[in-house]
Amino acid sequence: MNKAPAIGLVSTLIISISVVLAAEIVGSSAVRAKSGNDVISVTGSATMPIKSDLIIWTGTVTGQSPTMFAAYQQVKSGTAQVIGYLKKNGVDPADISTAAIQTNPQTENVVTASKGQRQSFQQTIGYILTQQVTVRSKNVDLVNKVSRNVTDLLSSGINFQSNPPEFLYTKVDKAKIEILSKATADARNRAVHMAQSAGARLGTVRSMRMEPLQITPRDSTQLSYDGAYDTTTRNKSITAIVKVKFGVH
């Protein structure tokens, strides 16, 4: 019996089996790679306009005199005139509040000499008293107008310092839900187009992260890494940014 053909046949079978096994292994790896952790990372954003519905305006009445009583009388009279001015111009008395009077004694260093010895001490030479008046109102337009015309108080001799009003939006939580929904939809839309362009099919969300909310002056392009909350303007924009990872097939 000729053993050479038999050996050749066995070798051929071994090689064939090895090729088949190698093909299966390679095919299996390709499937794993295709069904692995392939993802598309996208950033979605949305912006919508909002209008402040609350205004906070503060001002400070100051009295200064060598005696505390005289300074107190100045503050008391000035505060009464400020409140009267606000009421006269239509501000709701319920929206007006006053803080406790703050006292700041004014001193100077006095040096005396007696029997060749010098002594130094602080001597009170006067008092500065202040009281803050605050208006917190939903009537934004009215209070904003009153704050701009506050020079009427200064012309009447009142020592009154006005601060710029703060414009707030009290429905941020409700707006946040809406704007996040829009930003997420924008992210998904971007991911769908990216996947289709690559000949793939978009899968489920793998991860999602929301960036800090941005409330900025209307039409502003200035965004902050830590988020922003503008209080200087009434007309604002609220912007949400989300970063989403989708699986792809």
Rounded to two decimals, the pTM is 0.75
Q: Where in the chain is the domain with CATH 3.30.70.2970?
A: 56-165
* Range scoring the smallest mean pLDDT among 80-89, 192-201, 221-230: 221-230
**Mind listing the pLDDT tens digit for each residue in 77-115?**
999 999 999 999 999 999 999 999 999 999 888 777 777
Which stretch of 14-18, 122-126, 131-135 has the lowest confidence by average pLDDT? 14-18
Q: Where in the chain is the domain with CATH 3.30.110.170?
A: 38-53+169-249
Which CATH architecture describes the domain 56-165?
A: 2-Layer Sandwich (3.30)
CATH of domain 38-53+169-249: 3.30.110.170
Dihedral pair phi/psi, residue 117, rounded to 5°? -110, 135
* Residue whose C-alpha is closest to residue 159's, from 103, 83, 79, 84: 79
Phi–psi pair at 53, nearest 5 degrees = -120, 10
CA 188 → CA 119, 120, 200, 247, distances in Å? Answer: 79, 75, 14, 11
